Amino acid sequence: MPIIDAHVHLSGDEPESLTLLQELDIKLLNVCVVLDPGDGWRQQAGIWRSLAAEYPGHYAWCTSFNLPQTNDPGYVDNVIAALAGDFANGAVACKVWKNFGMDIRDASGAFMMVDDPLLEPIFSALEGHGKPLLMHIGEPLACWQSLEELGQDHPHYPYYSTHPEWHMYGKPGVPSHADQVAARDRVVERHPKLSIIGAHLGSLEYDVGEIARRFERFPNFAVDTSARLEDLVRQDAGRVRDFFMTYADRILFGTDLVCFSRTSQTPAAERTAVCGELRRQLSYNLAYFSTSGKFVMGDREFDGLALPAAIIDKVMGGNARRWYPGL
Ligand SMILES: [Zn+2]
């Protein structure tokens, strides 16, 4: 069975990319991200959808939905109808993004959290379709810490030092990391029959113990590892190993690599760089999961997890196939 990258944004449609996917024996779940109001993101969705239709062995896609507009009484019905159309067109899941809780405002001007009653019928509709919800809610804890506190060696220092717009530290009125996670947890709790995957280790990347607590509370909750390998390798390897052994069915490998435009329309150097990064990320993850003792990642050494092959197979693909039916 192929490896599955359960969280990625990569439009590889020309020989270099397709040959690589073949060689790595990997299938990609491309995830829609809705940044702006309106349906501009549908152009992206169209690319993911057609790649999945054209190369079903290598691509699947996860849809999303338009951001709420105040004063649009038809909003929820329109979203539910659009989702039904997307599932008919092969989407295996729906994604909700971190702008709920950090950017979008409700009619009163307050931040709209992901557990807002407005979204409830949408989540219930997903439950009715038997389609999972991928939730990227909140950010790493580092988002609410100062750059000084993080230090340059912190895995999230590079992002927050260059993306001040998403660095919530010191921004008055923005709900806290705990508020974001609590809102997400309430959605998970309210919909026990809805499979929910927490993107990026469920924004609990700083401690596998925090993820374990949710797994104990919520049988319908899983996480993907996308873009959080650097956080895992910095935790005690024995503790992370126990976590993987105990929750072997609920952890999905992902990279979060990004190449939104079709690689056939991307400069060759950029395309080659993305292909190289996919190869590199895959080898780092496999080295981390399988190595007993130290392995090298970039210019540093970390302790490997020495996981049994059967567990690695689940994390690298089996779990994604189970949590995303039809994938
Ligand atoms: Zn992503």
Rg (Cα) of the chain, in Å, rounded?
A: 19
Residue-level pLDDT at 217:
98
Mean pLDDT over the full length of the chain? 96
Mean pLDDT of 25-43: 96
Residue-level pLDDT at 70:
75
pLDDT tens, residue by residue, 229-245: 999 999 999 999 999 99
Q: How far is the CA of 31 from the centre of ligand 1 (A)?
A: 7
Q: How far is the CA of 116 from the centre of ligand 1 (A)?
A: 23
Instruction: Tell me which residue has tokens 């020495």.
Output: 306
pLDDT tens, residue by residue, 102-156: 999 998 999 999 999 999 999 999 999 999 999 999 999 999 999 999 999 999 9
User: pTM for the whole thing?
Assistant: 0.97
Q: How far is the CA of 257 from the centre of ligand 1 (A)?
A: 7
Domain membership of residue 225 as a residue range: 3-323
pLDDT confidence tier of residue 277, bands split at 50, 70 and 90:
very high
Confirm if 221 and 215 have CB atoms less than 8 A apart.
yes
Q: How far is the CA of 84 from the centre of ligand 1 (A)?
A: 23
- Please give the Cα distance from 307 to 286 (Å, whole number): 10
CATH number for 220: 3.20.20.140
- Please give the Cα distance from 111 to 109 (Å, whole number): 7
Q: How far is the CA of 293 from the centre of ligand 1 (A)?
A: 30
Residue-level pLDDT at 69:
84
Q: How far is the CA of 8 from the centre of ligand 1 (A)?
A: 6
Q: How far is the CA of 256 from the centre of ligand 1 (A)?
A: 5
Count of structural domains within the chain:
1
- Please give the Cα distance from 296 to 288 (Å, whole number): 9
Q: How far is the CA of 28 from the centre of ligand 1 (A)?
A: 12
